[in-house]
């Protein structure tokens, strides 16, 4: 796991919507155009694809019935 920078930790505790966008970019190692291809690839390799798992679990009510 990547260790968060002190700026990122401060943003997590702060009201990020009131933080200037330049400070957000810096804390997230990003910019107005998003991540660079190299950084996006690096994060994908570390965190893997952001996908929701689909499960076919039955609801509690169906299990009782």
pLDDT tens per residue across span 6-46: 666 666 666 778 889 998 898 888 999 999 999 999 999 99
For 1-65, give the DSSP string.
-PPPPHHHHHHHHS-GGGS-HHHHHHHTT--TT---HHHHHHHHHHH----PPP--PPPHHHHH-
Cβ atoms 27, 10 nearer than 8 A: yes
Tokens of 14: 């702060």
Residue 1: predicted pLDDT: 42
Q: pTM of this prediction?
A: 0.50
Q: Which of 3-7, 40-44, 60-64 is predicted most confidently?
A: 40-44
Residue 43: predicted pLDDT: 92
């Amino acid at each position: 796991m990547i260790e968060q920078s002190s700026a990122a930790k401060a943003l997590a505790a702060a009201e990020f919507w009131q933080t200037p966008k330049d400070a957000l970019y810096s804390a997230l190692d990003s910019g107005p155009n998003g991540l660079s291809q190299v950084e996006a690839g690096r994060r994908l390799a570390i965190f893997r694809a952001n996908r929701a798992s689909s499960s076919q679990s039955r609801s509690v009510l169906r299990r009782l019935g």
